Structure 1
Amino acid sequence: MSITDFQKLGVGLSSFGCFFLAFGVLLYFDSVLLAFGNILLLAGLTIIIGLRSTFSFFFQRSKLKGTSFFLGGVLIVLMRWPILGMMLEVYGFMSLFRAFLPVVSGLLGSLANIPFLSVLLHRLGGSKPSTV
């Protein structure tokens, strides 16, 4: 699978969006950083997968509730109510990606089988790894 230069730009925008969202949360829900992060993240996602695919994903009949909460949260953040907006966004995100969350948890569970990471995770957890 090849990635075009346009899609690389989308990955960069999405990365900066995630950075600004995380930085906005770390700075006690700074509404300007959160709004900028939301705009960059949505623009990057649209550039990566395309306008038609983005609309078809977000506006499926089964995902309208999650989409309305997510985009409503973005709108609330843009109106400078960051805590309420982020709560709505998180609920909408969880509703949108509900079917994908078991895959993510399975992936995170398989990280314990990687030799270096299993030792690191056990040290962070405070227990010793079992030697086989």
Structure 2
Amino acid sequence: MPFYRGLLALGNIFWLTGVALLLGFRSTWNLITSKANIKGSASFLLGLFFLFVRWPIVGIILEIYGCLVLFGRFWPSVKAFLYEVPMLGWIIRFLFWTAES
């Protein structure tokens, strides 16, 4: 079964727990409940709801959109971090050199 809803829900719970452990519980709560991120939070929770009512493709699409909205501000920091990783940073710079020029 490619879209087993129990495993999808369990993966979402583990993902949310990982984010909370990484950022801290208070920061995660502030991120999810801030007015600027309410569209992303609503989209993610609606996607989770669609997973539970057996519409997994719609649910996954909504969750991906919600994650992009919630964590979109972190991409420049992630990019800067990845550039500093040995070997990986060189590969990324080499592959995307023409895209940044």
SS of match in other structure, 1:80: coil
Report what 1:86 is aligned to: 60
Percent identity between the two aligned chains: 36
Counterpart of 1:99, as a letter, is R
Counterpart of 1:96 in structure 2 is 70
Shift of 1:34: 0.6
SS in 1 for 2:73: coil
1:9 — aligned with what?
none
Preserved CA contact (<8 Å) 2:31 2:70: no
**Letter in structure 2 aligned against 1:79:** V
Greater per-residue helix proportion = 2
**Cross-structure match for 1:108:** 82
Report the equivalent of 2:12: 38
Map of 1:1-132 to 2, 5 A cutoff? 28-46=2-20, 48=21, 49-50=24-25, 52-111=26-85, 114=86, 117=87, 121=91
Query: Gaps spanning 5+ residues in structure 2: where?
Result: 96-101
- Higher Cα Rg: structure 1 or 2? 1
Superimposed CA distance per residue, residues 5-57 of structure 1 (whole angstroms, 9 cap, x where no aligned partner): xxxxxxxxxxxxxxxxxxxxxx63332211111123324544x322x443322
DSSP-derived class of the 2:72 partner: coil
- What is the distance in 1 between the residues matched to 2:84 and 2:67? 24
Relative contact order (alpha carbons < 8 A, sep ≥ 6): 1 or 2 greater? 2
The runs of at least 4 aligned residues of structure 1 exceeding 6 Å deviation read none
Q: CA RMSD in A?
A: 2.6
